[in-house]
Structure 1
């Protein structure tokens, strides 16, 4: 059964919509959201359709459903704020970029955190690196009940935090830590989204803060470079050298909070309180 885990932090008239990753949960965006709220922003950490339940809940949805839930959350935020920024982690970064491409008049800036067009990081097993072929397998009906299980270090360099999150994830607490595996068909949907967003990157005119771990274990730096080299708006690249894929919770999360708050503040052209 799906549990509702999204969060809303009330702040000023500049807002940030935060989007978690595939099989993830809003909890992975909560520390970033709290930091941005401390800097004066109204923040909504949304929950993607089909997430925070079991694998069957996720498989009942596809990327069009996930994106529809993003659009619904953006519409709700636009009723509360004068200026809207969007930020996402991993697949959430792709959904953020798509929203910016589709709504250039409504999205003021984008936080592109650990963008994942392909799972090609150093910890991804050789077989899993062939997951870009999954749309074909899904089309012919092969592998609906198969998953790629998460592998250590689970995107987290901080060993203490890694132990906490992996324990919750492997213990079945999907609302707190997400699912322990990526269903093949959901990955196929993600690759469909990635292909769409890749084509739309030139339509992104909003400024983008592109933050990526230099040693990302899930998605190599080429994913960030793809965004930097193809969007039409100005970009700022932030490389994090003491984190893995989950940069919103890992060792340099405070740096990410501070740089995000400052970036959105510069775009807004208004002074913001220092991010706590």
Structure 2
């Protein structure tokens, strides 16, 4: 997919920022934030996660092990040029961020999660649908793209129009079997940011994360938005908050 390429900016800095995009999306969603943080002098990496940026059929062939491998490899590459690395995850990219921090025994200098899913709105309904027609339907069509302003601030987001049902099941399993039981192992400083009215993620996700991570430094930031993706144009207030968090923990 044109425009889905990774972002890698070497500013010859001691500090790097690893950005992990959400499921079915691409590094394009970090275009504005990566420019903002690189202009502040940080090295920036936003890798393309396995199975993304090509086709839903390719994505369907991948699993969580492929996604975590992409994240770990991207971290290693950025760490080669940075003394300290902060991790920023968007949506399910946040869950991959939790996994990375745990696997690295809290080596990252800090973690920022944006719209991190623990509980979805209509969570039980999603699970019920996966249990019923999810066994014979390969793809779930996203809501009408004409209505995507209810979902994202990104005017030219590059993502799949359909979601492989197999991968949705994988994500639900990842949340329940990987993210939730291991939050207590996250001890690095953390900023938990969410839209004030997120149409995708249930707001109790924020409280659950804050109460279960074992970080001495943890902050919650509610960004005034009714969108799920809050990393595009018009989100400069959030960008400033992220920059401030990094400065205080570098």
TM-score (norm 2): 0.90
Question: What is the CA RMSD across the aligned residues, in angstroms?
Answer: 2.2
Q: Equivalent residues in 2 for 1:150-169 (5 A)?
A: 150-151=143-144, 152=147, 153-156=149-152, 164-165=155-156
C-alpha displacement at 1:182, in angstroms? Answer: 1.9
C-alpha displacement at 1:147, in angstroms? Answer: 0.8
SS in 2 for 1:104: coil
C-alpha displacement at 1:105, in angstroms? Answer: 4.3
**Residues 63-97 of structure 1: per-residue CA shift (max 9 Å, x gap):** 11111110111111111100011011000011111
C-alpha distance in structure 2 between counterparts of 1:154 and 1:129, whole Å: 21
**Residues 193-217 of structure 1: per-residue CA shift (max 9 Å, x gap):** 2111111100000011111001011
Contact 1:244 1:250 in 2 (8 A): no
C-alpha displacement at 1:259, in angstroms? Answer: 0.9
Q: Equivalent residues in 2 for 1:195-274 (5 A)?
A: 195=176, 196-233=178-215, 234-249=217-232, 251=234, 253-268=235-250
C-alpha distance in structure 2 between counterparts of 1:250 and 1:114, whole Å: 16
C-alpha displacement at 1:184, in angstroms? Answer: 1.2
Say how many residue pairs are matched. 244
Cα distance, 1:200–1:135 mapped onto 2, change above 3 Å: farther
Give the equivalent residue in structure 2 for 1:181. Answer: 162
**Residues 5-30 of structure 1: per-residue CA shift (max 9 Å, x gap):** 10111221100100000101100012
Counterpart selection for 2:126 from 116, 128, 131 = 131
Contact 2:20 2:93 in 1 (8 A): yes
Unmatched segments (≥5 aa) in structure 1: 121-125, 166-175, 269-276
SS in 2 for 1:52: coil
C-alpha distance in structure 2 between counterparts of 1:76 and 1:137, whole Å: 42
Unmatched segments (≥5 aa) in structure 2: none
C-alpha distance in structure 2 between counterparts of 1:150 and 1:190, whole Å: 19
Give the equivalent residue in structure 2 for 1:96. Answer: 97
